[in-house]
């Protein structure tokens, strides 16, 4: 029978696993990181790992969700710091900045190497659906913060932003030299739809 951990120990162990998983994602990626690597780095028994996560994929998914929420919080903070007169240009630049942050992160490497797709394939389907729904709620929350934004089509606008995000997979094919300008243009198109009269 596994030993019981105090609430503080559980928080510490989970925090260590998440920190080590993020480090491993940055250094090695998903395929080259094993549960054995993670437990060794966190200094816990392998059985303890499974008290917290059913698989390394679920742990990595939690790391990705934490990163997603961090980016989202930064975006909301930036939005709040802008004056109430938020224009399509300012919102386009804000979203473009978000995409550039992603491009400079471990997540971009996971996307371009195909490892993110591998991770999503190994997750239960209901988790991917829940994540997409969470994205829709984030866009809704964003829209509530911006005066003059239409709120009748949040699901489609959220899907369009995800589609733009996924275009990063094809940066080479699209044109590395023109990619940033094309990305900004696509974002602006979606943002203009947000401001368009119903």
SS3 53: coil
What is the separation of C-alpha 169 from the centre of its chain, rounded to a whole number of angstroms? 15
Give pLDDT, residue 3. Answer: 64
Asked if 188 and 92 touch (Cβ cutoff 8 Å), the reply is yes
Give pLDDT, residue 60. Answer: 95
Tokens 């997409």, residue? 132
Q: What is the dihedral of CA 116, 121, 124, 128, to 10 degrees?
A: 50
The two tokens of residue 185 are 């243009």
Q: What is the pTM of this model?
A: 0.79
Tokens 């943002």, residue? 191
Distance CA 21, CA 39 (A): 10
pLDDT mean values, one per 10 residues, the chain (198 residues): 78 95 92 95 94 94 90 85 78 91 88 85 82 67 74 80 85 91 94 76
Tokens 């997979």, residue? 169
Q: What's 5's DSSP letter?
A: P
Q: How many helices (H) and strands (E) does the chain have?
A: 11, 0
């Amino acid at each position: 029978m596994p030993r019981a951990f105090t609430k503080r120990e559980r928080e510490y162990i989970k925090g260590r696993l998440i920190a080590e998983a993020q480090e491993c994602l940055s250094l090695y990626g998903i395929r080259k990181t094993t549960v054995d690597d993670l437990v060794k780095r966190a200094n816990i028994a392998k059985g303890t790992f499974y008290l917290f996560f059913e698989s390394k994929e679920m742990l990595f998914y939690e790391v990705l969700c934490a990163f997603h929420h961090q980016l989202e919080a930064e975006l909301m903070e930036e939005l709040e710091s802008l004056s109430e007169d938020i224009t399509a240009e300012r919102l386009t630049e804000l979203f473009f900045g978000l995409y550039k942050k992603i491009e400079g992160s471990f997540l971009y490497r996971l996307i371009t190497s195909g490892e993110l797709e591998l991770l999503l394939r190994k997750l239960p389907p209901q988790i991917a659906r829940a994540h997409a729904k969470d994205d829709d709620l984030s866009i809704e929350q964003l829209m509530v913060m911006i005066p003059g934004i239409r709120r009748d089509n949040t699901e489609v606008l959220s899907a369009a932003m995800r589609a733009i995000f996924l275009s990063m997979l094809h940066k080479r094919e699209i044109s590395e030299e023109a990619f940033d300008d094309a990305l900004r243009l696509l974002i602006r198109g979606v943002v203009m739809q947000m401001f368009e009269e119903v």
